[in-house]
Structure 1
Amino acid sequence: MHAVGHALAIAGSMTWEITWALILGFLLSAIVQAVVRKETVARLMGDDRPRTLAVSSLLGMASSSCSYAAVALARSLFRKGANFTAAMAFEIASTNLVVELGVILALLMGWQFTLAEFAGGPVMIVVLALLFRLTLRARLLGEAREQAERGVAGSMEGHAAMDMSVTGGGSFWRRLLSRRGWTSVSHVFVMEWAAILRDLVLGLLIAGAIAAWVPDSFWQHFFFDGHPVLSKVWGPLIGPVVALVSFVCSIGNVPLAVVLWKGGISFGGVVAFIFADLLILPILNIYRKYYGTRMALYLAGTFYLAMVVAGYAIELVFGGLGLVPDQSQAKIPMEGVSWNYTTFLNIAFLLLTAALVIRFLRTGGRAMLAMMGGAPDAPATMDHGGMDHAATDHGTDHEHHGHHGHHH
């Protein structure tokens, strides 16, 4: 019982440290998804030129944070005409180059990790774009597009397919501040949370358990802590593998990254581990459903290579500049709740969350949650005062074209 209590206490402390940052990130993500038009995105992401990839990455940074939502969004952009490489750049940026991840890294591990994340992300995108240019065959891409058009989606990924954006005239601010805008933001916000919550809780519990129960000596042996050169070579290679089997989603793996860093993984290894939230087993399975088995394997290989290269690059550059923080300074948050800025920010953001949840429930949100957890086959269009929540990606393509008139 004491051991379980210890693990839960660590998980609870970590949760408290990151609550406000998470809420802020999801709020920004919801605003972008609710008020920015998808057609605009497809127009901006039509090829794989460096400028387009930079724009795609910036759009990704501004959008989502949950790796599941990012993967589903990337697919809907691909279906709406975005270039595949640009869609993948968007996906990487939207789980790894996001504000809330940077804030949480800074809070739990130090600003150097935030800098490494924002420096390593573009390296990974460039390496991936080059790998795609050199090795991605038109036939494989064609198969992936066919599979993507079939519209296979489970309930969890399905939420990003529900287009909850506000259409109609007016500027960005006008759409955002309208009643429909507020409703739409509340819907995207709650649905994003519903999709990520399980992973986040799991990630925090896994990190708490590992921090409490796995002795430091195990990690020190595992990461060759006493061998400076060997540990730097081994870190980026093994980091993504640890992520692959730990099943946690982008924000969920930061607490575990703290544990690994304290345990002796190299700086580049931490960076590669954090980027590998797009290679966890459930996500590889989603790639298989979205793009077919061959493309899923291709993505697994190219993503892994890009993560490893980014890890090495960061290790060399940050090591050379003397920016690698002292491992012994790393601390797993154990303070719990005390009156400091974290508490004030958490209270403010929790109140904001309550307002959004109330709005969501008052505007037909329960039906959407039921749809998300329930029958993924029924294409549903729910009209909320002129706002079209069209879950077009559910069901088959035939239904998708044939049943637009049904209002559930």
Structure 2
Amino acid sequence: MPASQLSVAFRTLIEGVQLAAEFFWQAMWALLLGFMLSGAIQAFVSKEGMVKYMGDPSPRSVLYAMGFGVASTSCSFGDIAATKTLFKKGAHIIPTVTFLIASTNFVIGLTFVIWALLGWEFAVAQAVGAPIFMLIAIVLVHLTIPYDEAQEVRERLIKQEQPVVTDPVCKMRINRENGIPVEYKNETVYFCSEGCKDLFEQNPDVHRTPWREKIRSWNGWVEAANQTKKDLLMLWKELSIGFLLAGIVAVAVPDSIWTLLFEGGGTGTTQVLYNSILGPLISVATFVASIGNVPLAAVLWNSGFAFAGVVAFIYADLIVPQLILIYRKIFGEKIGTRLTLILFVSMATTGVIVYYLFAFLGLVPDAAVTSEGEPFTLFGLTPTTILNLVFLLIGLVFLVLLVTGRRGAPGDRVVQDPVTEADITVKNADYCTVYDESIYYFETEESREKFKSSPEEYI
């Protein structure tokens, strides 16, 4: 490659990175808010409690699933993990799919990012279109995925569960196959011994921390910070790729290419239909999932893509190739493929419906009108800078929580083997037993057997 071409390519790359950094700065406060809100919800809301309200295909269950989704994570990869857990624990397939869509496309954090990068019209369109998206998908799921097939998938997932579980009473880690199972609030709880099971059954709530108590506790917020960290670690690559790709595409792709691509559907109704189908296909081709597709949506909009296509593109983070493979892995090849097609048809149809709804109300924004800077400053700082600083400070609090860690967590408690008198932590104790409604922990099976033969000798 000639030196001149290398120089042009290098300049394009640098300009793309700079533009990506500008996109990120615009959206940083919204990303921080979304991730921290998601971490808090995951820490304080029990999935078992959610399943209780999602066990059938009734409108009530669908509304609960929608509400749980709104309060849940705004990342499509974290969302599919939560969706799998809910479905495996007993949620019906219809509210499960509702949660899948709502927790990715009907969440506060995403709305803020869209508002920051695309404007309030798109933020409202995304929020208005999400229930339409869910309703179409629900109808298609009901028509194409038999409930008995979904039940077979659930049974397979249960068989594939992790073999190690925690006894809720003594906090010991045990192999599932060796535990004593008890059904409690749509969940199978496992115990290391009959003694622990009996203590649990006497007063189950003693061994479950209610969300009101969690939200007032230091450990509860440490868990929220940990959940936020997990989501960030899981998604930072996708977010980075999304912003970087948006910057490079905005700089490198000439307007003539966008014009040729976007005007392929002609004008009027055919253009709306064409762009609504094209939007999800572009999402599949770019591999950009979660909030990372919003900056690329901004590039598409500023390059002349139709309003309907941009809306459908934003929803299409649910059908990127990585997630399509995950659907097939979780639900099996047949249901996974059907689910992908259901999501594609639903999001494309939603793009068309939202466009005509907004056109009727006169709310479709003019692509030729772009914002030229911030409307005002406060103490010399733009609103975006102020919001970024505020949420960076809140993020710093979460970082402090991560560094300082949990205080007095049950598994970290130091106990003494009553036979050997050695100090051990609960999470590292391999053996325990219950005597006179108290729990005793041991280093070895031999210690436990000695204790059980004459407990009065060691108390």
* In 2: Cα distance, 1:109 partner to 1:332 partner: 13
Q: Which runs of 4+ in 1 moved over 6 A?
A: 332-335, 403-407
* In 2: Cα distance, 1:323 partner to 1:243 partner: 25
2:363 to 310, 323, 333: 323
| One-letter amino acid of the counterpart of residue 341, structure 1 | P
CA 1:2 to 1:172, structure 2 compared with 1: closer, same or farther past 3 Å? same
* In 2: Cα distance, 1:405 partner to 1:280 partner: 44
| Residues 220-239 of structure 1 aligned to structure 2 (within 5 Å) | 220-224=259-263, 227-239=267-279
- 2:257 is matched with 218
More strand by share: 2
Mapped pair 1:202 → 2:241: yes
| One-letter amino acid of the counterpart of residue 194, structure 1 | L
Secondary structure of the corresponding residue to residue 52 of structure 1: helix
* In 2: Cα distance, 1:11 partner to 1:31 partner: 28
Q: Which runs of 5 or more structure 1 residues have no equivalent in the other structure?
A: 154-166, 365-382, 389-402
* In 2: Cα distance, 1:175 partner to 1:110 partner: 36
| One-letter amino acid of the counterpart of residue 116, structure 2 | L
* In 2: Cα distance, 1:276 partner to 1:404 partner: 45
| Residues 287-326 of structure 1 aligned to structure 2 (within 5 Å) | 287-326=327-366
Which protein, 1 or 2, shows the higher relative CO under an 8 Å CA cutoff with sep ≥ 6?
1
Deviation at 1:211, TM superposition (A): 0.6
CA 1:189 to 1:229, structure 2 compared with 1: closer, same or farther past 3 Å? same
| One-letter amino acid of the counterpart of residue 252, structure 1 | G
- 1:258–1:332 contact (8 Å) kept in structure 2: no
Secondary structure of the corresponding residue to residue 352 of structure 2: helix
- 1:397 is matched with none
Deviation at 1:65, TM superposition (A): 0.8
| RMSD of aligned alpha carbons | 2.8
- 2:21 is matched with 12
* In 2: Cα distance, 1:195 partner to 1:170 partner: 27
Deviation at 1:28, TM superposition (A): 1.3
* In 2: Cα distance, 1:251 partner to 1:173 partner: 30
Secondary structure of the corresponding residue to residue 364 of structure 2: coil
Deviation at 1:168, TM superposition (A): 5.5
CA 1:331 to 1:387, structure 2 compared with 1: closer, same or farther past 3 Å? farther
Deviation at 1:362, TM superposition (A): 3.5
CA 1:325 to 1:35, structure 2 compared with 1: closer, same or farther past 3 Å? same
- 1:67–1:250 contact (8 Å) kept in structure 2: yes
- 1:339 is matched with 381
* In 1: Cα distance, 2:143 partner to 2:94 partner: 12
The structure number with the bigger radius of gyration is 2
Mapped pair 1:271 → 2:311: yes
1:101 to 96, 99, 110: 110
* In 2: Cα distance, 1:65 partner to 1:108 partner: 16
2:297 to 257, 265, 269: 257
- 2:38–2:73 contact (8 Å) kept in structure 1: yes
* In 1: Cα distance, 2:336 partner to 2:373 partner: 37
TM-score by length of 1: 0.82
Deviation at 1:174, TM superposition (A): 3.2
- 1:10–1:332 contact (8 Å) kept in structure 2: no
- 1:143–1:292 contact (8 Å) kept in structure 2: no
Deviation at 1:115, TM superposition (A): 1.1
* In 2: Cα distance, 1:56 partner to 1:143 partner: 22
1:358 to 400, 404, 409: 400
- 2:232 is matched with 193
The number of residue pairs the alignment matches comes to: 362
Q: Which runs of 5 or more structure 2 residues have no equivalent in the other structure?
A: 1-9, 163-205, 413-426, 432-459
Deviation at 1:197, TM superposition (A): 0.7
| One-letter amino acid of the counterpart of residue 271, structure 1 | V
* In 2: Cα distance, 1:264 partner to 1:32 partner: 38
* In 2: Cα distance, 1:145 partner to 1:334 partner: 51
Per-residue deviation, residues 48-75 of structure 1 (Å, max 9, x unmatched): 2122212211110111011000011011
- 1:281 is matched with 321
CA 1:361 to 1:288, structure 2 compared with 1: closer, same or farther past 3 Å? farther
- 1:47–1:83 contact (8 Å) kept in structure 2: yes
* In 1: Cα distance, 2:344 partner to 2:429 partner: 43
CA 1:406 to 1:127, structure 2 compared with 1: closer, same or farther past 3 Å? farther
- 2:77–2:235 contact (8 Å) kept in structure 1: yes
